[in-house]
Amino acid sequence: MKSICTYGIIPVRKEPAESSEMVTQLLFGESFDIINIEDSWAFIRIHFDQYEGWINAKLIAKLREHEVENWIKAEKWIVSAPYIKVVSEPDKTTHLISAGSSIFFNESDRNSFRIGNTEYYISGNQSSNKANGSIADSANALINAPYLWGGRSFYGVDCSGFTQVVYKLAGFELPRDASQQVELGQIVSFVEEATLGDLAFFDDEEGRITHVGLCLGKGEIIHASGRVRIDKLDHQGIFDDEAKSYSHKLRVIKRIL
């Protein structure tokens, strides 16, 4: 079985319990396979990055198979604003949809779309006709979003969730975790050669990749640490101007775009 996320965010957990660690999030419009259902929980696999985990089965939209397949195959608009407001009909419920969410306009009106029997309208001045900004614009739109382990949205994001969503806005699919992302791309030999869009990876004392950020060029990096922020980057790592010390030790810079 397959379905589509029809909520702004659905937490995906390590185990089938509300108290379990959140490992990632489903964003609005992302499709997924339903692999198994136990009591009130469903074990799923997200199509975008093949990540697996448990979600509350009550949050699964009951859709026909062809509706999900058409959604999967369609060319979708990726929300680039930090968030937009969407109103569903006929109940007039408001949904706040975060950057990186996917919308397939299956009607002629480019400000409305349908999932199953529910009609959705984009509220306010956001429109699919607006061109996406640069990768720097996408990254800066999430400035000050709080750090949240497993988060992928403006309301809370972790380091690899941040880079994954920013790359998604650029039309490129990244794996979910920093340890997976580091396997991609070509090595950039010197920090001075890093350009906008390169990914910098950082390790711990045991050599494990524990952090990732997006290079802005000119010795700056934007990353999720406490919040999404811009810091200095040099050959040693990330220098925190507020703490006047290095917060992360540089392992490697990779060019993917």
- Look up the CATH number of the domain holding residue 16: 2.30.30.40
Instruction: Using the 3D structure, point to which of 92, 123, 154 is the last residue of a domain.
Output: 123
Q: Could you tell me which residues come within 8 angstroms of residue 86 by beta carbon, excluding any fewer than 6 positions away?
A: 28, 94, 95, 96, 97, 120, 121, 122, 123
- 163 and 234 both lie in a single domain: yes
DSSP-based three-state secondary structure for 89: strand
- 20 and 88 both lie in a single domain: yes
Q: Please state whether the predicted TM-score (pTM) of the whole model is above 0.85.
A: yes
- 106 and 188 both lie in a single domain: no
Q: What angle do CA 214, 220, 221 make, to 5 degrees?
A: 25
CB 103 within 8 A of CB 77: yes
- 10 and 109 both lie in a single domain: yes
Per the domain annotation, does 17 fall within a domain? yes
pLDDT of residue 158: 98
Per the domain annotation, does 130 fall within a domain? no
CB 183 within 8 A of CB 201: no
CB 71 within 8 A of CB 115: yes
Say how many CA atoms lie within 13 Å of 16 toward its Cβ.
12
- Look up the CATH number of the domain holding residue 147: 3.90.1720.10
The yes-or-no verdict on residue 132 having pLDDT over 80 is no
Report which secondary-structure segment, H or E, holds 84: strand 83-89
- 110 and 161 both lie in a single domain: no
Per the domain annotation, does 33 fall within a domain? yes
Per the domain annotation, does 128 fall within a domain? no
What values do phi and psi take at 76, rounded to 5? -110, 155
CB 26 within 8 A of CB 32: yes
pLDDT of residue 209: 97
pLDDT digits (tens, 9 = 90+) for 50-82: 999 999 999 999 999 999 999 999 999 999 999
- 23 and 99 both lie in a single domain: yes
Instruction: Using the 3D structure, point to which of 89, 123, 157 is the last residue of a domain.
Output: 123
The yes-or-no verdict on residue 126 having pLDDT over 80 is no
pLDDT digits (tens, 9 = 90+) for 166-221: 999 988 999 999 999 999 999 999 999 999 999 999 999 999 999 999 999 999 99
- 177 and 69 both lie in a single domain: no
Going by C-alpha positions, the residue among 171, 154, 204 that lies closest to residue 27 is 154
Domain tally for the chain? 2
- 113 and 158 both lie in a single domain: no
Q: Could you tell me which residues come within 8 angstroms of residue 243 by beta carbon, excluding any fewer than 6 positions away?
A: none
- 167 and 251 both lie in a single domain: yes
- 187 and 251 both lie in a single domain: yes
Per the domain annotation, does 175 fall within a domain? yes
Instruction: Using the 3D structure, point to which of 123, 149, 171 is the last residue of a domain.
Output: 123
Q: Which residues form the domain of 156? A: 135-255
- 88 and 16 both lie in a single domain: yes
- Mean pLDDT score of the chain: 93
Question: What gap in Å lies between CA 112 and CA 100, rounded to an integer?
Answer: 18
Per the domain annotation, does 86 fall within a domain? yes
Q: Which residues pair with 10 in a beta bridge?
A: 26
